[in-house]
Amino acid sequence: MFEPAPPPWYRQFWPWCLLTLLLSSMLMSVAFAVVALNTFDGMVVQEDYFEHGKMINAVLEKAERAEALNLSATLYVDPMTQDVVLDLEGQARPAALALSLIHPTRDERDVRLTLTHRRGGHYVGQAPVGLAYRRYVTLAPSQAPDWRLNGEITLPSDAAVRLAPAGAP
Protein backbone atom coordinates (compact mmCIF):
# COMPACT_ATOMS: atom_id res chain seq x y z
CA MET A 1 0.00 0.00 0.00
CA PHE A 2 0.86 3.59 -0.29
CA GLU A 3 2.41 5.18 2.81
CA PRO A 4 2.57 8.99 3.03
CA ALA A 5 6.00 10.56 3.26
CA PRO A 6 6.86 12.01 6.67
CA PRO A 7 6.69 15.81 6.83
CA PRO A 8 9.98 17.74 6.68
CA TRP A 9 11.76 18.47 9.99
CA TYR A 10 10.67 22.11 10.14
CA ARG A 11 7.01 21.04 10.24
CA GLN A 12 7.44 18.80 13.23
CA PHE A 13 6.83 19.79 16.87
CA TRP A 14 9.94 18.54 18.70
CA PRO A 15 12.66 20.42 16.82
CA TRP A 16 10.83 23.71 17.42
CA CYS A 17 10.23 22.87 21.08
CA LEU A 18 13.93 22.20 21.65
CA LEU A 19 14.94 25.26 19.65
CA THR A 20 12.56 27.44 21.69
CA LEU A 21 14.07 26.22 24.96
CA LEU A 22 17.58 26.92 23.70
CA LEU A 23 16.75 30.40 22.42
CA SER A 24 14.82 31.38 25.57
CA SER A 25 17.74 30.36 27.80
CA MET A 26 20.12 32.37 25.64
CA LEU A 27 17.81 35.40 25.79
CA MET A 28 17.51 35.19 29.58
CA SER A 29 21.28 34.87 30.03
CA VAL A 30 21.79 38.02 27.94
CA ALA A 31 19.15 39.84 30.02
CA PHE A 32 20.84 38.79 33.29
CA ALA A 33 24.23 39.87 31.93
CA VAL A 34 22.85 43.32 31.04
CA VAL A 35 21.34 43.75 34.52
CA ALA A 36 24.57 42.59 36.20
CA LEU A 37 26.69 45.00 34.20
CA ASN A 38 24.39 48.00 34.68
CA THR A 39 23.83 47.71 38.44
CA PHE A 40 26.67 47.95 40.95
CA ASP A 41 26.02 46.17 44.22
CA GLY A 42 29.08 47.41 46.07
CA MET A 43 32.27 45.75 47.14
CA VAL A 44 31.65 42.37 48.70
CA VAL A 45 35.10 41.74 50.18
CA GLN A 46 36.47 44.09 52.82
CA GLU A 47 40.12 44.84 52.15
CA ASP A 48 40.81 46.87 55.27
CA TYR A 49 40.01 44.32 57.97
CA PHE A 50 41.84 46.18 60.72
CA GLU A 51 39.99 49.46 60.13
CA HIS A 52 36.70 47.58 59.89
CA GLY A 53 37.43 45.88 63.22
CA LYS A 54 38.18 49.22 64.88
CA MET A 55 34.85 50.57 63.62
CA ILE A 56 33.01 47.59 65.11
CA ASN A 57 34.70 48.22 68.46
CA ALA A 58 33.68 51.89 68.32
CA VAL A 59 30.05 50.90 67.69
CA LEU A 60 30.15 48.49 70.62
CA GLU A 61 31.58 51.22 72.88
CA LYS A 62 28.73 53.55 71.87
CA ALA A 63 26.18 50.85 72.69
CA GLU A 64 27.82 50.26 76.08
CA ARG A 65 27.72 54.01 76.77
CA ALA A 66 23.99 54.08 75.89
CA GLU A 67 23.38 51.18 78.28
CA ALA A 68 25.30 52.98 81.03
CA LEU A 69 23.03 56.03 80.55
CA ASN A 70 19.90 53.79 80.58
CA LEU A 71 18.89 55.11 77.17
CA SER A 72 16.02 53.86 75.06
CA ALA A 73 13.66 55.58 72.66
CA THR A 74 10.27 55.19 71.03
CA LEU A 75 10.10 56.24 67.37
CA TYR A 76 6.91 56.99 65.46
CA VAL A 77 6.70 58.11 61.82
CA ASP A 78 3.23 59.38 60.87
CA PRO A 79 2.29 57.66 57.58
CA MET A 80 0.15 60.61 56.42
CA THR A 81 2.21 63.69 57.31
CA GLN A 82 5.68 62.05 57.57
CA ASP A 83 6.19 63.74 60.96
CA VAL A 84 8.86 61.98 63.01
CA VAL A 85 8.23 61.90 66.76
CA LEU A 86 10.77 60.41 69.16
CA ASP A 87 10.55 60.05 72.93
CA LEU A 88 13.97 59.55 74.52
CA GLU A 89 14.21 57.93 77.95
CA GLY A 90 17.34 58.01 80.05
CA GLN A 91 19.93 60.41 81.42
CA ALA A 92 20.97 62.22 78.21
CA ARG A 93 19.09 65.17 76.67
CA PRO A 94 21.08 66.59 73.73
CA ALA A 95 19.76 69.61 71.84
CA ALA A 96 19.49 67.66 68.58
CA LEU A 97 19.60 64.03 67.52
CA ALA A 98 20.81 62.46 64.28
CA LEU A 99 18.38 59.79 63.05
CA SER A 100 19.52 57.52 60.22
CA LEU A 101 17.04 55.35 58.32
CA ILE A 102 19.30 52.92 56.46
CA HIS A 103 18.04 50.84 53.55
CA PRO A 104 19.33 47.25 53.80
CA THR A 105 20.69 47.04 50.24
CA ARG A 106 20.79 50.47 48.56
CA ASP A 107 22.98 53.30 49.88
CA GLU A 108 21.21 55.89 47.73
CA ARG A 109 17.95 55.19 49.61
CA ASP A 110 19.45 55.99 53.03
CA VAL A 111 17.86 58.95 54.83
CA ARG A 112 19.49 61.08 57.52
CA LEU A 113 17.33 63.39 59.64
CA THR A 114 17.98 65.89 62.42
CA LEU A 115 15.47 65.79 65.25
CA THR A 116 15.15 68.90 67.41
CA HIS A 117 14.45 68.87 71.13
CA ARG A 118 11.04 70.22 72.18
CA ARG A 119 10.51 69.42 75.86
CA GLY A 120 11.61 66.71 78.26
CA GLY A 121 12.67 63.78 76.11
CA HIS A 122 10.44 64.73 73.17
CA TYR A 123 12.11 65.25 69.76
CA VAL A 124 10.49 66.03 66.39
CA GLY A 125 11.52 66.13 62.74
CA GLN A 126 10.21 65.71 59.21
CA ALA A 127 10.81 62.68 56.97
CA PRO A 128 10.77 62.93 53.17
CA VAL A 129 7.58 61.98 51.36
CA GLY A 130 7.43 58.45 49.99
CA LEU A 131 9.61 56.83 52.61
CA ALA A 132 8.85 53.11 52.45
CA TYR A 133 10.20 49.61 52.97
CA ARG A 134 12.23 48.07 55.76
CA ARG A 135 14.94 50.25 57.33
CA TYR A 136 17.63 49.91 59.96
CA VAL A 137 17.40 52.79 62.41
CA THR A 138 20.32 54.37 64.26
CA LEU A 139 19.99 57.26 66.69
CA ALA A 140 22.87 59.32 68.12
CA PRO A 141 23.46 62.88 69.32
CA SER A 142 24.15 65.35 66.50
CA GLN A 143 27.08 67.16 68.11
CA ALA A 144 29.09 64.57 70.05
CA PRO A 145 27.96 61.07 69.06
CA ASP A 146 29.24 59.24 72.13
CA TRP A 147 26.24 56.86 72.37
CA ARG A 148 24.01 55.09 69.86
CA LEU A 149 20.61 53.35 69.78
CA ASN A 150 19.53 50.85 67.11
CA GLY A 151 16.31 49.34 65.80
CA GLU A 152 14.36 48.32 62.72
CA ILE A 153 11.22 49.77 61.15
CA THR A 154 9.07 48.94 58.14
CA LEU A 155 7.47 52.03 56.63
CA PRO A 156 4.75 53.11 56.34
CA SER A 157 3.61 51.94 59.75
CA ASP A 158 1.06 53.03 62.33
CA ALA A 159 3.02 51.38 65.13
CA ALA A 160 5.78 52.92 67.21
CA VAL A 161 9.21 51.26 67.22
CA ARG A 162 11.43 50.76 70.25
CA LEU A 163 15.11 51.73 69.88
CA ALA A 164 17.65 50.24 72.27
CA PRO A 165 21.43 49.86 72.55
CA ALA A 166 22.85 47.12 70.32
CA GLY A 167 22.44 43.75 71.99
CA ALA A 168 19.76 44.96 74.42
CA PRO A 169 16.25 43.44 74.30
Is 119 within the bounds of a domain?
Answer: yes
Q: Report pLDDT for 28.
A: 98
Is 57 within the bounds of a domain?
Answer: no
Is 34 within the bounds of a domain?
Answer: no
Is 75 within the bounds of a domain?
Answer: yes
Q: Report pLDDT for 52.
A: 77
Is 89 within the bounds of a domain?
Answer: yes
Is 4 within the bounds of a domain?
Answer: no
Total tally of structural domains belonging to the chain = 1
Global pTM reads 0.69
Q: What is the mean pLDDT of the chain?
A: 89
* Averages of pLDDT over each 10 residues, the chain, 169 residues: 84 93 97 89 68 81 89 94 94 91 90 94 92 92 90 92 79
Where in the sequence is the domain holding 92, given as residue range(s)?
71-163
Is 16 within the bounds of a domain?
Answer: no
Is 147 within the bounds of a domain?
Answer: yes
Query: Three-state SS string across the chain, please?
Result: CCCCCCCCHHHCHHHHHHHHHHHHHHHHHHHHHHHHHHCCCCCCCCCCHHHHHHHHHHHHHHHHHHHHCCCEEEEEECCCCCEEEEEEECCCCCCEEEEEEECCCCHHHCEEEEEEEEECCEEEEECCCCCCEEEEEEEEECCCCCCCEEEEEEECCCCCEEEECCCCC
**What tens digit of pLDDT does each residue of 82-94 get?**
999 999 998 888 9
Task: Read off the CATH number of the domain in which 118 is found.
Answer: 2.60.40
Q: Report pLDDT for 139.
A: 94
